[in-house]
Amino acid sequence: MKPVYIGEDAELQRGHLAAACRDLYRRGWMPGTSGNISVRSGETVVITASGRSKGAMSRKDTVMVEPFEGLPLLGETEWPSAETSIHLALYQQLPNCGAVIHAHAPHSTAVAALTGTNGSIGQVVFENMELAKGLGSVDPHLVAVPVFANWSDVSRIASDVTAYLDGSAADAPPVLLIDRHGVTAWGHNIDEARNRLECVEEMSRLTLLTGAFGAGVAKETAR
Ligand SMILES: [Zn+2]
């Protein structure tokens, strides 16, 4: 029988995480060192190390952290992504969340820039888009994706995400936007999170292509 040691799953996840980063880099969604991916593994989280080129990611460019403050575990030599607090906020609020991807996919980022509300939480409403079915159990006829303010203090974005999920976790779509910044998606694993990221990016692209911005995308204040 194959021996199992503590952290084996996390070690496997490092490789999956690095491969997913390289893939999204090649698509132009993680230019340079931007973007980050994490995976929950038992009581720990494996996440992209800070400042790494996403096109050249290897398993050594990941770091295992504890899930509360995001501090590296003993023996880790890298420092986690600056956006770790947002990942941890999602894991803390969503027990079924197993992986989080944050990327600077261009069309989602453009939609976020056009709908940000400069402080309060805004939202983008995608109406009657077939692709919305890819987001899981949300009503595909009307998907309201939150747009968070891009505070320079990332922990403030994480606090906003926590407050938003406190009020809407059960109904919230598994994606969020950050004003003038990018898109974040989550799921049970990296594949599911990436599928959802692709859905939002494509819905954003179609919305911009069809000029349906006024009709298909509403700028509203969620709170
Ligand atoms: Zn970012």
Q: Structural domain boundaries of the chain?
A: 8-221
Instruction: Output the CA 35–ligand 1 centroid distance in Å.
Output: 5
Picking from 152, 150, 155, 200, the residue whose alpha carbon sits closest to that of residue 173 is: 200
pTM: 0.91
Instruction: Output the CA 104–ligand 1 centroid distance in Å.
Output: 6
- Residue pair 168/107 in contact by the 8 Å Cβ criterion: no
| Strand-pair category, 142-148 with 175-178 | parallel
Instruction: Output the CA 33–ligand 1 centroid distance in Å.
Output: 9
* Residue of higher predicted confidence among 117 and 49: 49
Residues 6+ apart with CB under 8 A from 195: 134, 187
Assigned CATH topology for domain 8-221: L-fuculose-1-phosphate Aldolase (3.40.225)
Q: Residue 11: is it exposed, middle or buried by C-beta count within 10 angstroms (0-12/13-18/19+)? A: middle
Instruction: Output the CA 150–ligand 1 centroid distance in Å.
Output: 10
Q: What integer pLDDT is reported at residue 7 of this predicted model?
A: 55
Instruction: Output the CA 137–ligand 1 centroid distance in Å.
Output: 26
Q: What is the pLDDT of residues 182-222, one digit of tens each?
A: 999 999 999 999 999 999 999 999 999 987 765 444 444 44
Q: What is the pLDDT of residues 119-141, one digit of tens each?
A: 788 899 998 888 888 888 677 78
Instruction: Output the CA 178–ligand 1 centroid distance in Å.
Output: 8
Q: How far apart are CA 43 and CA 99, in angstroms?
A: 13
- At CB < 8 A and 24+ separation, what contacts does 13-16 make? 13/39, 13/41, 13/46, 14/46, 14/59, 14/62, 15/59, 16/190
Q: What is the pLDDT of residues 53-77, one digit of tens each?
A: 999 999 999 999 999 999 999 999 9
Instruction: Output the CA 36–ligand 1 centroid distance in Å.
Output: 7
Instruction: Output the CA 83–ligand 1 centroid distance in Å.
Output: 7
